[in-house]
Amino acid sequence: MKTIWQVLKITFWMLPAQRVMLIVGVTLAVALCFTGSWSAPQALMLAMVIPLFTGGIFLRQLSSRRLAQLWPHGRGRLLAGTISVMIVCTALYILAYGPAFVRTPPRFKGLVLEGLILEYILIFVFWTQCTIGMFVASRKPVWALVALIAWLLPFLVMGAQGQMPQMMAGPTGFIAAAGVWVVFSIWFLTSRRIGTAAWRVRQETVTAASQSTVAATPAEAMQRWLLSSGTPLTLGLQWGLAMLVLLGVQLAVPHLIDADSPRDWMTAMLFGTLSLAAAVVGAVSWTIAKRSRWLWLPAGKTRLELFRHCERVMLKSLVALVLPMMVLSLALRFVFDVRSSLPASYLALAMLGLSLAAGWFGLMQVHRRLSLDALAALLLILGWLSGLIRPLFRGETEPEWGIALAVLALVALLRGVAYARWRNADWPRTQSTMPS
């Protein structure tokens, strides 16, 4: 039981964003339950979205030999805690329908109960895919592609055989998910070593004979350090390749299962996937802020000079990450004739605004303030959902210009907060041991 509480704390309460989303999601779900609304589970999903998509990553990081050997039967307890959290969360999601189910007319309760059972199986299968898929994908980028193919393979096979992919939500899907967990558990408990280095760039040892004749300038050396031995160009190429593969799979699935051409929800999914560039920009800028702590003295710059340098690196990375998104958007529009219901100018402005806001939000993390950072993260998520995702999936034609302008105002605010934090930064408070 203690392990389950520890896993619950890691998955729901470790990061400020997790705490805010948990409090907001549970509060909205409880309020909607009292009104008897069928939307209570959707509000509860706000609290579960981070554990849903990062549970496999947490499981890999906690499976290191240093952590798993600190308590008896560490791997077994960790695996049991992960599965227990998944079962409890999926059960709570279905139980949130309880007040609305009680008010259902008796003649319809049988059909509604059957639908709830199928929905529980669907959520259980989807959570299993997310956990194990992200566990595999967090090892290396090539394994991310393998996990994506394995994720969509059942749908492709069933579609090629003329069967409906929705059958995966029935008893067959539940048995398949249980079998996947059995196989994964046997490997997880018997493996001698589980690698935890996730998506890290290996630094090669350079000898005197292999050194380039042209030495890197101090600015280039600082940029490579801030980007973990990478460059904006390599980041853009990797992100563009990942999006190319993902969008290609999303475009191929409807044709392989003889579905309609992607015009409604598939179009929304394609452009929603492209908007994830903002999350990548935020992760890159957070890494820049984190690694800049070891440059306070070696860089020979003042706080604001170092901030401007990190800001330039962030903006270069943003341009490198946004360019593939724009190219793919144009390819969807003119090559595949996939057009969003929203104007192209609004989509470009909304995605660029979210990317800029996420970039300066990451630079803010040079010093953390729990309440302000949680509020900024919540505003970013709400701007993304209400300004892009909701209009896309509803097929709205009127752009939300008010939300777009609010996001641009948030960009200016976050930039000011980041500037103030760097100006008042005290390097002894942020200096720590140099990473190996």
**pLDDT tens-digit series, residues 149-178:** 666 566 555 555 555 445 455 677 788 788
Q: Which two tokens stand for residue 271?
A: 């452009």
Amino acid code (one letter) for 416: G
Element containing residue 266 per DSSP (H, E) = helix 265-274
Q: Write out pLDDT tens, residues 299-347.
A: 667 788 888 989 999 999 999 988 888 888 888 888 777 788 888 889 8
Contacts of residues 21-28 at CB distance under 8 Å and 24 or more positions apart, as own/partner, are: 21/46, 21/47, 21/49, 21/50, 21/378, 21/381, 22/47, 24/378
Residue type, 349: L
Check if the beta carbon of residue 257 is closer than 8 Å to that of residue 155.
yes
Half-sphere exposure of residue 434, counting CA atoms within 13 Å on the CB side? Answer: 7
Q: DSSP states of 190-249 as a string?
A: H-S------SPPPPPPPPTTT--SSPPPHHHHHHHHHTTT--HHHHHHHHHHHHHHHHHH
Q: State the pLDDT at residue 169.
A: 57
Long-range pairs for 380-388: beta carbons < 8 A, 24 or more residues apart: 380/278, 380/354, 380/410, 381/17, 381/21, 383/353, 383/354, 383/357, 383/407, 383/410, 384/275, 384/278, 384/354, 387/350, 387/354, 388/271, 388/272, 388/275, 388/347, 388/350, 388/351, 388/354
Question: By the 8 A CB rule, do 295 and 336 touch?
Answer: no
Q: What is the pLDDT of residue 434?
A: 42
Q: Is the CB of residue 268 less than 8 Å from the CB of residue 346?
A: no
Task: For residues 331 and 239, give the distance between their C-alpha atoms in angstroms, rounded to a whole number.
Answer: 16
pLDDT number for residue 206: 40
Q: What is the pLDDT along the chain (436 residues), one digit of tens a residue?
A: 676 777 778 778 776 667 777 887 888 888 888 887 788 887 788 788 777 777 887 888 777 666 555 566 778 888 888 898 888 888 888 998 988 888 888 888 888 888 888 888 888 888 888 888 778 777 765 666 666 666 656 655 555 555 544 545 567 778 878 888 988 899 888 887 777 654 444 444 344 444 444 566 777 888 888 887 778 888 888 888 877 877 776 676 555 444 444 456 667 777 877 888 888 898 889 889 888 888 876 666 778 888 898 999 999 999 998 888 888 888 888 877 778 888 888 988 999 999 999 999 999 988 878 788 888 888 888 888 888 888 887 788 888 889 999 999 999 999 999 999 888 876 554 444 444 4
Q: Identify which of 131, 117, 39 has the alpha carbon closest to the alpha carbon of residue 85.
A: 131
CA separation for the pair 60, 75 (Å, rounded): 11
Burial per residue of 290-300, b for 16 or more beta-carbon CB atoms within 10 angstroms, e otherwise: bbbebbbeebe
Entry pTM: 0.60
Q: For residue 182, give both structure tokens.
A: 């059995």
The per-residue pLDDT for 344 is 86
DSSP of 126-161: HHHHHHHHHHHHTT-HHHHHHHHHHHHHHHHHHHHT
pLDDT for the residue 142: 62
* Phi, psi dihedrals of residue 204, rounded to the nearest 5°: -80, 145
